[in-house]
Amino acid sequence: MIAEESTKFESGPLARRSFIKALSTAIGANIVFGHLAPNGFMPVALGQMNEPFSIPGKPGLTILNDRPVNAETLPHLLNDPITSASRLFVRNNGLPPETVDIDSWRLVIGGESVVNSKTYSIDELKSKFENINLALTLECGGNGRAEFYPPASGNQWTTGAVGCPIWNGIRLKDVLEDCGIKENAVYIAYHSADQHLSRDPSKDAISRGVPIGKALEPESMIAWGMNGEPLPSHHGYPLRLVCGGWPGSTSGKWIKQIDIRDRVHDGTKMTGSSYRVPKYPVKAGATVPDEDMKIIESMPVKSLVTYPKSGVEVGLNDTLKLNGHAWAGDLEVISVSVSNDFGQTWVEADLKKPVNRLAWQQWDAAISFPEKGYYEVWARAVDSEGTSQPMLIPGWNPKGYLNNSCHRIAVYVV
Ligand SMILES: Nc1nc2c(c(=O)[nH]1)N[C@H]1C(S)=C(S)[C@@H](COP(=O)(O)O)O[C@H]1N2
Ligand SMILES: [Mo]
């Protein structure tokens, strides 16, 4: 649909001007910097006519699918620096375990590259290893998928498959080292208690992992709690992995076994187009051979405007205060800027340091407007390697992963 509209733009500046005018009519205000808007531009206000419906314990979350359950969070509901359980997105690939007995739950450490395979109860894990609490950003690799064209199959996440709770648990490293890691270790792999959608017990719903180097980082966790409470059942009760800054799919929920592997893990959703992207840029809609795909590792730099809510009205002489979060996978964010003229000029935001490595960072900024009308405020973050978020959607890939384009909110100046 956007593609069709942009051909209209290209038929001449007059046609484009009248199209921007039509859009102004649709949203009920003049789009002040309309002449600067990128080709294919659609005001974000247009998509905000409907309020989301809710699920128990997750008021205000937008349900994308109910079997398996998948729900995301509107940006203004993510304003807190630490995400509460009620506002954390849910991404299930299969059917979560229905009953969990925490006392009989066991975690097995095995695999080709473990020295001594061991089995732990949750009490043993809690008492034997140093307990830690870390804020770690969890973002689904498919967050932002809804914007890709041609559309990619899968949950049509917009911006809300991300959050940053405080996780309570232990270092994965400590447990792996307690069992011993052979020299030839390459990867770790999780196996979980959720069922494949078909209920076929021989199939895993998902079984992924991370390279041994990431597993041994001091922030990679086995968690039993979130924000000081036991993990909610949607989020992996009684035990999960948390690999901050990497695709959420590496953070296995309801974990029963972790294998130390002598090869790149080849479990369910490790191969083909699952959580993998082309090694080189491809044409939108292309078919990419398996051998040309690589596993997604650290997530790209990204940010959200979490205040004010998109669609806010401000007076002409008011300065609009904005705030949000920014994160950059394994890296730190070094700057965030905001623009109200489609990126012609930028105002630098005040950016906080992360509370710990791999936690999202808070930013705030103030911006004013030259005349009454409709604006979009865009936020753009830059990571510690100097890589910026793109303003428009990045490279197309078969499953629509890694869309880290700038988030924007609608602002009416009255
Ligand atoms: N066992 C298991 N672990 C899983 C999943 C799953 O379906 N089953 N989904 C993964 C995906 S794709 C993501 S994005 C995160 C989502 O975590 P959350 O539902 O707690 O937000 O969990 C990951 N861990
Ligand atoms: Mo995910």
Does 177 reside within a domain?
yes
Whole-angstrom distance, CA of residue 68 vs CA of residue 66? 5
Does 370 reside within a domain?
no
Mean pLDDT of the chain: 92
Instruction: Using alpha carbons, select from 242, 240, 114, 257 the residue that is nearest to residue 178.
Output: 114
Instruction: Using alpha carbons, select from 329, 369, 326 the residue that is nearest to residue 347.
Output: 369
pLDDT above 70 (res 1): no
Residue whose entry in the numeric block shows the structure tokens 């043993």: 124
Does 159 reside within a domain?
yes
pLDDT for the residue 47: 64
- Which residues make beta-bridge pairs with 324? 305, 363
Write the DSSP string, 194-216. Answer: PBPTT--TTSBS---EEEHHHHT
What pLDDT digit, counting tens, does each position of 328-366 carry?
Answer: 999 999 999 999 999 999 999 999 999 999 999 999 999
Whole-angstrom distance, CA of residue 178 vs CA of residue 189? 17
For the chain, the domain total comes to: 1
Name the closest ligand to CA 269. 1
Does 265 reside within a domain?
yes
pLDDT above 60 (res 11): no
pLDDT above 80 (res 6): no
Which atom of ligand 1 is closest in space to residue 254's alpha carbon?
1
- When pLDDT is cut at 50, 70 and 90, the band that residue 53 belongs to is very low
- Report how far ligand 1's centroid is from the alpha carbon of 248 (Å): 6
pLDDT above 60 (res 299): yes
Residue whose entry in the numeric block shows the structure tokens 């498959």: 161
Q: Do residues 404 and 383 touch, judged by C-beta distance below 8 A?
A: no
- Report how far ligand 2's centroid is from the alpha carbon of 13 (Å): 41
> Which of 162, 227, 253 to probe ligand 1 with, by most ligand atoms within 8 A of CB?
253
Which atom of ligand 1 is closest in space to residue 247's alpha carbon?
14
pTM of the model: 0.91
Q: If DSSP codes are grouped into helix, strand and coil, which group holds residue 14?
A: helix
Whole-angstrom distance, CA of residue 226 vs CA of residue 241? 12
Tokens read off for 42 = 């659609």
Does 211 reside within a domain?
yes
Would the CB of 165 count as within 6 Å of ligand 1?
no
pLDDT for the residue 8: 34
- Report how far ligand 2's centroid is from the alpha carbon of 102 (Å): 25
> Which of 93, 192, 240, 241 to probe ligand 1 with, by most ligand atoms within 8 A of CB?
93
Percent of the chain clearing pLDDT 90 (strictly above): 83
pLDDT for the residue 3: 37
Would the CB of 91 count as within 6 Å of ligand 1?
yes
Does 303 reside within a domain?
no
Q: Which residue has the higher pLDDT, 40 or 70?
A: 70
CATH number of the domain that residue 82 is part of? 3.90.420.10
- Which residues make beta-bridge pairs with 411? 312, 375
Percent of the chain clearing pLDDT 70 (strictly above): 94
- When pLDDT is cut at 50, 70 and 90, the band that residue 141 belongs to is very high
Residue nearest atom 12 of ligand 1, based on CA coordinates = 249
pLDDT above 50 (res 401): yes
pLDDT for the residue 54: 56
Q: Which segment of 22-31, 75-84, 328-337 scores lowest on mean pLDDT?
A: 22-31
Does 403 reside within a domain?
no
Residue 47, number of CB atoms within 10 A of its CB: 12
Does 308 reside within a domain?
no
Would the CB of 254 count as within 6 Å of ligand 1?
yes
Name the closest ligand to CA 162. 1
Would the CB of 237 count as within 6 Å of ligand 1?
no
pLDDT for the residue 23: 80
Q: Which amino acid is at 49?
A: M
pLDDT above 80 (res 204): yes
Residue nearest atom 2 of ligand 1, based on CA coordinates = 253
Sheet arrangement for strand 333-339:
312-314, 407-413, 373-383, 333-339, 347-348
Q: Which segment of 11-20, 146-155, 368-377 scores lowest on mean pLDDT?
A: 11-20
What pLDDT digit, counting tens, does each position of 239-296 carry?
Answer: 999 999 999 999 999 999 999 999 999 999 999 999 999 999 999 999 999 999 999 9
Range of the domain at 94: 62-295
Judged by phi (left if over 0) then psi (alpha if -120 to 50, else beta), residue 246 lies in beta
- Report how far ligand 2's centroid is from the alpha carbon of 91 (Å): 6
Name the closest ligand to CA 91. 1
Specify the pairing of strand 255-261 against strand 106-110.
parallel
User: How long a stretch of residues is the chain?
Assistant: 414
